[in-house]
A and B are shown apart, each in its own frame.
Chain A
Amino acid sequence: MMDKPTTTLKAIESTPPLADLDRICDMQEGRMAGKIFWDSEIYEQELEKIFARCWLFVAHESQIPEPGDYVATTLGEDEVLVVRQKDRSIKVLINACPHRGNKVCFAEAGNARGFICNYHGWAFGPDGALRGMHESGVYEQSGFDKSRQGLREARVDSYKGLVFATFAADAPSLADYLGPMTWYLDVILDNDEGGTEFIGGCIRSTYECNWKIAAENFVGDILHAGWTHDSAAQAMLGGSVTKVSELPESYQVNWNGHGYEFARDLVGNAAVLGESAINKYLHLHSPKAAERLGEFRARMLGAVSSFTVFPNFSFLPGQNTVRVWQPRGPNKIELYTWVIVNRNAPAEVKEKWRRGAMMTFSPTGVFEMDDGENWEYCTKTSRGKVTRYQDLYVGLGMNSRLSDTELPGNVFRGQLNEANARAYYQRWKDLLQARTWAEVPDRNGKLD
């Protein structure tokens, strides 16, 4: 059934950009308005110009190893199924029946022969092709063409186990979309010959915050950690969070709105799990990682660091939490979290990471508690009509760009910096101003 084409995805209409984007976001001046976190018009623009256009993370390949395995997720607010095919390729299908639009799969994960709509019994193969209908005779009398009524497909590509999808036919390839940031992604994805896997499924929670405040936190805000997370560090380590300003070497790096901020202290993030077995694993593994990645990146494995792939896919090396900030309105998100580990890591080390991520960065995690409160109120204060138009400062680290470095991407000195945040919001603005992918400007090499 693989050869049966499903119906082509209809492109949505491109609407004009918002008129007041300069007022909302001016990264040359290092300022933005709180309205960026609280506005339904902005949100609708984001669904169209960001979530319907960008490459979005949908799954790790290890979640769906066998043909028929699937997970359900969303691209923005569009519900999709990520399905392993008989030929081992992966399809991303809109989880809505082409007849009346009902959801065709209500489970979050599983293995299925296909998907049957509960409403009129339209039955789809794992490839999305419509295979048949209840009362099929009636359709045959109407000259019905099954081949035109499959589940709609998004474009799919993957990078070292991470599967991404986009609805945009004109989007650049995933490789071009990620650009040189893959050099940094490899710190997590390719530090061992066995690659990585997700363990323990997905934990979901709900925040009353704007999706960008969370994504931006991971793109380059280590600044908050020493203050926000003091209580968690005291609880886990009996002392304060590492003083980042005293780390000998740290950077912020970005490209097309993606950002990685990192030190080279090997275990700074991992240490807060309070599990000596994990620290030991990282110390023992670092020389092996160096053979694949070189000495520089081998010191980043569990270091004080965080990463966001624009727009809403983030992770923390060391804590090994991987997450998507799913937009659910201008001031609501659903947080999907997973734990990533090296496939070849010892079972007891994987188990320590499963529990460690729960203990630190999960809805019951001692670190995440204080993040959630911050992000919700960064969002809610902009309910105030006047407050909404006041400037928010995003100016730290202006002119900290490094030109004499061989590190890939746009590289900035020092982790305590808002360079990545500025690049992130600049990319956000560029996408909101562009009506097509061709109109999105290339800022790389020009950011400061």
Chain B
Amino acid sequence: MNTLELVTLEEERAVQAFLLREARLLDEDRWDDWLLMVSERIHYWMPGIENRRREDARGGFNAEHMALFDDGYRELQRRVARFKQPSAWAEDPPTRNVHLISNIEVYAGENPGEYRAFSCFVNVRSRGLDEQYQIAGRREDVLCREGDGLKLLSRRILIPNATLPCKNINTFL
């Protein structure tokens, strides 16, 4: 495990603000604004979780396994494009989201101008009159400086569920 190097309070505050703003944009269905926070070099990864025994060297997830997200920028753009279609029937009336972000830890990244950020999330979605879905998980992000601000360069999302307790994930986490 690499040693984790703390950053200045100012930098830490900037990263926290980034993560919280990102959550707010998602809750407000501002997908295009959200995409602006994402680097075009993004790897946005949420592996499927396997329920394997402890001695199994494969572990609970790996890069070869099917994923829920294993996206580059083009894939994220395509997902956003669907959300925005008038014929996205399952988004109309809209899904209402709350993204709670917590347990934020900010450290220096591998390269200059990069940050490594750990966080937890609880996403609560409601649809229709009474549908409610909750997914919680842990994220590990790399943020980088691009242009005049921070961008999301990579994200790994781990949920504890080996079976998704709902029919889909029609949001970003």
Q: A interface vs B, CB < 8 Å? A: 106-112, 199-208, 227-228, 230-232, 234-236, 274, 334, 337-339, 354-355, 357-359, 362-364, 366, 368-370, 372-374, 376
Contacts and interface: CB of A to CB of B under 8 A. Distances in A.
Given A201-B50, A358-B68, A231 B87 contact: yes
Contacts of A207: 167
Nearest to A229: B87
- B contact patch SS: loop
Given A202-B66, A355-B70, A373-B90, 18 more contacts: A200-B48, A200-B64, A202-B50, A204-B163, A206-B163, A206-B164, A228-B89, A231-B85, A354-B66, A355-B75, A357-B66, A358-B69, A363-B167, A364-B46, A364-B79, A364-B169, A370-B88, A373-B89
Nearest to A373: B90
A236 B82 CA distance: 8
A363 B88 contact: no
A203 B66 contact: yes
B166 interface: yes
Interface stretch (B51-59, B104-112, B138-146): B51-59
Contacts of A228: 89
B149 interface: no
B51 A108 contact: yes
Contacts, number: 123
B20 interface: no
B70 A235 contact: no
Interface in B65-90: 65-71, 75, 78-79, 81-82, 85-90
Contacts of B166: 205-206, 363
A210 to B, nearest CB: 13
A373 B68 CA distance: 18
A108 B71 CA distance: 26
Nearest to B87: A230
Interface of B: 46, 48, 50-53, 56, 64-71, 75, 78-79, 81-82, 85-91, 162-170
B65 A369 contact: no
21 contacts: A108-B50, A108-B162, A199-B64, A201-B66, A204-B164, A205-B163, A206-B163, A231-B85, A234-B87, A235-B79, A354-B66, A355-B75, A363-B164, A363-B167, A364-B46, A364-B79, A364-B169, A366-B78, A369-B88, A373-B89, A373-B167
Chain B CB within 10 Å — which of A354, A358, A364, A374 has the most?
A364
A203 B68 contact: yes
B82 A369 contact: yes
B167 A205 contact: yes
Contacts of B50: 108-109, 201-202
A206 B165 contact: yes
